[in-house]
Amino acid sequence: MGRLKLDYYGGTEVKLGMLKHHVFLVKLTNKLKSEYRAFCSGSIIKDDRVLSSAHCFYTNRKRFKHTSRVLKAVGGILTTYVQHSVDEDDDVQQWRTIGKVYTQKFFRFPAYNLAVVEIDKPWNFNQFVNKIPYASLNQNFDGVCLVTAVRPARSWSSHKFLFTEAFKMLPRSECESKLLRDSRLYFCTEYDSRKLLMQSVESEGSALICTGTGDPQENDSKQGLLVGVTSLIYTYLPTLHHKVGPFHKWVTDTGYIFSEISTVVLLFCMVIKLLL
């Protein structure tokens, strides 16, 4: 079990450039005003891929929850309500259309809840928007890690802003005793009534970030490592974050393998057609 360091922002409002990897997944709420509202979060892991929660998109019966044409992934924003930028070349607020959403074969919320989201064009990496490395090892941790949360600027406001919170990691045995369920697929963070996560449904799909993990993918202690995806936010109970490390190969290969197989099948069909 690795012991982690607390050297993050815990409990503070996020400013542009602090969480470059974080994106809000938004859907259109007012077509005339081009207004969108966040329904989940995600993390940029490649120039054309976002890692999120399958539950953000699908029911347990693999039925898509949304109308796909009204969905966007937006980097470089800090609020859950946003108006579509008219500047398509904006390097700060970057809008991308969501394409295919790949889910794990045995997905049944909250188990196997990782989703790889394909976007229509690559992110423009800069000081505001960038990718984050993700875990390659199946580890358990004690200490604290960073969780993303949102909260309104005013008690009456429907607009929420991005914050970070440092949460204590719970040992697997303690988590299982409190939740009465097997938690081998998850990291558990301790419930704390003073913190924001229980108000943050838009935080589902966001990154659990740890530092000092010893994972070979972690190469910047200030940035940290994406080790989990926030999946199930309980009230008065620990929160579940789906582990990424055991599924590193799936996350890395998903979409690309599918694309290669599709290309091979298409070429094969074309050859057969020519021969006939």
Give me the half-sphere count of Cα atoms (radius 13 Å) on the Cβ side of residue 121.
6
For the chain, what is the domain count? 2
Specify whether 185 is located in the same domain as 143.
yes
Give me the half-sphere count of Cα atoms (radius 13 Å) on the Cβ side of residue 71.
20
Specify whether 150 is located in the same domain as 214.
yes
* 270: enclosing H helix or E strand: helix 256-275
In a domain, 57, yes or no: yes
Specify whether 99 is located in the same domain as 141.
no
Specify whether 94 is located in the same domain as 178.
no
Provide the pLDDT for residue 196: 57
Specify whether 30 is located in the same domain as 105.
yes
Specify whether 70 is located in the same domain as 7.
no
Buried b (16+ CB within 10 A) or exposed e, 160-197: bbbbbbbbebbebeebbebbeeebebbbbbbbeeebbb
Specify whether 8 is located in the same domain as 35.
no
* pTM of structure: 0.87
Provide the pLDDT for residue 156: 60
Specify whether 39 is located in the same domain as 81.
yes
Provide the pLDDT for residue 7: 39
- Which residues, at least 6 apart from 48, have a Cβ–Cβ distance to it below 8 Å? 118, 119, 121, 122, 123
Specify whether 104 is located in the same domain as 30.
yes
Q: Within 187-255, where are the H helices?
A: 248-253
In a domain, 269, yes or no: no
In a domain, 264, yes or no: no
Provide the pLDDT for residue 253: 94
Instruction: Report mean pLDDT in 10-residue bins for the chain, 276 residues.
Output: 42 90 96 94 98 97 92 96 78 94 96 97 96 97 90 72 92 94 95 65 94 94 94 86 97 65 40 52
In a domain, 96, yes or no: yes
CATH number at residue 63: 2.40.10.10
Provide the pLDDT for residue 258: 44
Domain that holds residue 209: 2-13+132-243
